[in-house]
């Protein structure tokens, strides 16, 4: 993946050619093997963590600001914390648990940064400079890690999680299974919201067809060729290019359907630790279906 990014992004290519040890972690670029000094002037090795925002699957935007994350607390040759770095202590949840962010820095030159390459070079000079001078250490190890750490439920890059810095919340949701019973006026909007969350699997059930009145009470663009198609198949096709773990069935749910709703993990489920469905969002208007399912869903959450 890094090689592909280098083919489409000059900054990434220049960082690789410079010899930086790059690694992708979801929508973060990790620059590893960065030497720095601790308070006793001993050599430590850390990593910069840089947000990246994808334009498409291979092109990324320029850095949105001058801030960066780091996995340690760097000191100067005098044993004091390096001054004028701004930022402060913080935490950031990445997919790789060995990368533990401790601080953010906000050091902006008067002229700003013309590119991501210049930004990384500037921070390396400030942070790694003392360790390079005292210990002869180098940040240019060339250890390129082509394995992309994702574990993502999405088929496109999840840049929202990194942009909003909500990786800790995403980690709490990633093994969850959500069930939506009924994909009509309420269930369709719930489905549209849920497909954009990092839950590992969404199971939906509705045996009805998508008719004209449904177009007025469902999200997204209407294609007239969709009229008359089963809701389950229609929504499965609509979201297929967005995420894994979407299982929608044209099934009427009643008291005999407990096994189908609880189900087994689907082949497209990205989590190996997915829990059994812990609750259901009951969005059907038929009283018979609502009342018959109410007794056996483990955590009932009615949307109506």
Helix axis angle for 231-239 and 187-194, nearest 10°, is 20
Mean pLDDT value across the chain? 85
| Strands 103-106 and 67-70, bridge-based pairing | antiparallel
Q: What is the pTM of this model?
A: 0.66
Per-residue pLDDT band for 194 (boundaries 50, 70, 90) equals very high
Note the CATH number of domain 174-302: 3.40.50.720
Q: Write the CA distances from 118 to 15, 21, 37, 69, 72, integer angstroms.
A: 9, 16, 22, 16, 21
The answer to whether the CB of 50 falls within 8 A of the CB of 29 is: yes
pLDDT digits (tens, 9 = 90+) for 6-45: 889 999 999 999 999 999 988 899 999 999 999 999 999 9
What would the pLDDT profile of 58-105 be if each residue is shown by its tens digit? Answer: 899 998 889 999 999 999 999 999 999 988 999 988 888 899 999 999
CATH 3.40.50.720 range(s) for the chain read 174-302
Give the distance between the most distant pair of CA atoms in the chain: 76
Helix, strand, or coil (residue 166): coil
- Give start and end residues of each alpha helix (H) in the chain: 2-8, 10-18, 116-135, 159-164, 167-173, 187-194, 212-215, 231-239, 258-262, 287-294
Q: How many angstroms from the chain centroid is the CA of residue 198? A: 7
Q: Is the pLDDT of residue 302 over 50?
A: no
Give residue 192's Cα distance to chain centre: 17
Euclidean distance between CA atoms 123 and 87, whole angstroms: 13
Q: How many CB atoms lie within 10 A of CB 154?
A: 20
Nearest of 32, 138, 35, 36 to residue 79 by alpha carbon? 36
Query: Which H or E element spans position 289?
Result: helix 287-294
């Amino acid at each position: 993946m890094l090689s592909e990014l280098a083919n489409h992004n000059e900054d990434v290519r220049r960082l690789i050619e410079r010899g930086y040890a790059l690694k992708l972690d979801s929508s973060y670029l990790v620059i590893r093997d960065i030497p720095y000094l601790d308070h006793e002037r001993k050599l430590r090795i850390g990593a910069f963590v840089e947000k990246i925002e994808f334009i498409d699957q291979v092109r990324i935007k320029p850095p949105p600001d001058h801030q960066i994350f780091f996995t340690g607390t760097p000191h100067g040759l005098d044993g004091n914390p390096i001054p004028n770095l701004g930022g402060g202590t913080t935490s950031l949840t990445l997919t790789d648990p060995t990368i533990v962010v401790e601080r953010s820095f906000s050091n902006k030159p008067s002229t700003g940064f013309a590119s991501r390459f210049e930004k990384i070079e500037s921070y390396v000079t400030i942070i790694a400079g003392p360790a390079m001078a005292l210990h002869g250490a180098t940040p240019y190890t060339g250890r390129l890690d082509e394995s992309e750490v994702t574990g993502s439920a999405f088929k496109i890059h999840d840049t929202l999680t990194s942009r909003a810095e909500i990786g800790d919340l995403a980690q709490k949701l990633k093994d969850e299974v959500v069930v939506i019973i009924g994909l009509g006026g309420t269930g369709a909007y719930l489905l549209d919201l849920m497909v954009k969350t990092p839950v590992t699997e969404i199971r939906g059930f509705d045996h009805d067809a998508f008719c004209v009145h449904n177009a007025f009470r469902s999200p997204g663009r209407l294609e007239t060729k969709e009229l008359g198609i089963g809701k389950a198949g229609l929504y499965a096709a609509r979201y297929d290019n967005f995420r894994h773990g979407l299982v929608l069935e044209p099934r009427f749910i009643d008291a005999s359907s407990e096994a189908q709703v609880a189900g087994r993990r689907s082949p497209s489920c990205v989590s190996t630790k997915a829990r059994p469905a812990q609750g259901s969002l009951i969005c059907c208007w038929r009283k018979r279906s609502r009342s018959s399912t109410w007794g056996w869903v483990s955590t009932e959450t009615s949307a109506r």
